[in-house]
Amino acid sequence: IPARTGASHCPEMAARGPGRLLLLLGLAAALCPPRAAQPPPGAFQAGHGAASLPAAAAAGRRRYLLYDVNPPEGFNLRRDVYIRVASLIKTLLKSEAWVLVLPPWGRLYHWQSPDIHQVRIPWSEFFDLPSLNQNIPVIEYEQFLAESGGPFIDQVYVLQSYAEGWKEGTWEEKIDERPCIDQLMYSKDKHEYYRGWFWGYEETRGLNVSCLSVQGSASIIAPVLLKNTSARSVMLDRAENLLHDHYGGRDYWNTRRSMVFAKHLRVVGDEFRRKYLHSTDEADRTDYNEDWTQMKVKLGTAVGGPYLGVHLRRKDFIWGHREDVPSLHGAVKKIRSLMEKHKLKRVFIATDAIVEETEELKKLLPEMVRFEPTWEELELYKDGGIAIIDQWICAHARYFTGTSVSTFSFRIHEEREILGFDPRTTYNRFCGEKERNCEQPTHWKIVY
């Protein structure tokens, strides 16, 4: 299967190379309690890989896989973790009947709008569940509560890196049950149940919690779930420690294409395009098929609306990635250059800039258009929905430029590729003002 040129296990590594791999594997472990009851001897061996799975067995009652990630991780990185876990589900389904329980959204760093309730948000607020189910079986957490008989998770595995780390040149995939490296983020109540964040569901309890040191792709944990535990419901905490099974291949793209935005958000974005940017699917050659399995386009067929799409990341990137982020004046200079080059009179900007910076942008760039929701719209769509609307509008632009190493920009890259845009109009980024060699992102190839 042809894969994207230069791609690695995850978008962060594709953008930054081996250094990103070191960073990913060095992620701090999640917090963990004293070890739960031990499995029977011989049930699980150190370094056991997914390739040693037994032949498909009788399914019986279906089992539930839940997961969560490190709390500071943002919306778009979490979307990437979903792709990794979906690959694990596909591996499990070869042997048993499993269903993925979608972790409710809420309490993310970038969701800072005041007076908006943003906890226990179901996936259906942001994504089309029937589309997800065409790829793997998924259910919302509320359905899990109804089916499983109560707010209990039988087994929680907290994933962590290896305390001893690994040496460059000796990479191997392995997984072992180990003592927890850090202090527990779960605490026992008077009934000996484990209490934790559990996506804001305070009534949820874990029956057993233990730690797994893991180094490898998502499916490396399949033997643990199939042979090391008989728990009907299993949660993987800190699931971002798992890498992609087949990054950039057919399996990756099937899952990514199944992540169709909720229709009500796409409708809002489409109406904004039509009203303020003179952009429609017919004119832009971006006709959208509601069934993602039937949507197969050739790169370069989409033209896009008569506007420049821009994602300008600010806030924490100003100090966290200062070498990759231009000043406001530098960004405006680049935007004007692109508008002149591509003969565009409008620019749509998605940005997390503070109010003072957006006001400055308006003065420097009167042609700028932004989606600025009313309070009622914000309450209805929430910060996550507004971000999706921004991405959807950027995805339909004639030309797009984003911010280096930002997963927000990366998701727009993927969306544009799904829509059929020429990679040359998609894989572009702002450069830091001190960069001498401003290398642009790798051009990728979608695989059907």
Which amino acid is present at 120?
Answer: R
CA–CA distance, 299 with 417 (Å, rounded to integer):
7
Token pair in block for residue 342? 């591509």
CA–CA distance, 173 with 46 (Å, rounded to integer):
10
Cα four-point dihedral sign 10, 11, 15, 16: negative
Describe the strand order of the beta sheet including 368-369 as a list of residue ranges.
368-369, 347-351, 305-312, 397-401
Q: Which H helix or E strand runs over 110?
A: none
Which residues 6+ apart lie within 8 Å of 284 measured at CB? 302, 303, 304, 305, 396
Which residues 6+ apart lie within 8 Å of 247 measured at CB? 3, 4, 7, 8, 9, 10, 14
Token pair in block for residue 432? 């830091």
Question: Quick count: other Cβ atoms within 10 Å of Cβ 156?
Answer: 28
CA–CA distance, 410 with 259 (Å, rounded to integer):
14
Q: State the catalytic residue, choosing from 12, 73, 240, 417.
A: 73
End-to-end, the C-alpha distance of the chain in Å comes to 9
* 173 a catalytic residue: no
CA–CA distance, 270 with 255 (Å, rounded to integer):
24
Question: Quick count: other Cβ atoms within 10 Å of Cβ 391?
Answer: 23
CA–CA distance, 27 with 240 (Å, rounded to integer):
9
Q: Please, are residues 398 and 313 in contact by the beta-carbon 8 Å criterion? A: no
Letter string b/e over residues 234-272, b meaning 16 or more CB atoms within 10 A of that residue's CB: bbbbbbbbbbbbbbbbebbbbbbbbbbbbeebbebbbeb
Q: Please, are residues 411 and 391 in contact by the beta-carbon 8 Å criterion? A: yes
Q: Please, are residues 135 and 215 in contact by the beta-carbon 8 Å criterion? A: no
CA–CA distance, 343 with 345 (Å, rounded to integer):
7
Token pair in block for residue 382? 């929430």
- Greatest CA separation for the chain: 70
Catalytically active residues, by annotation: 73
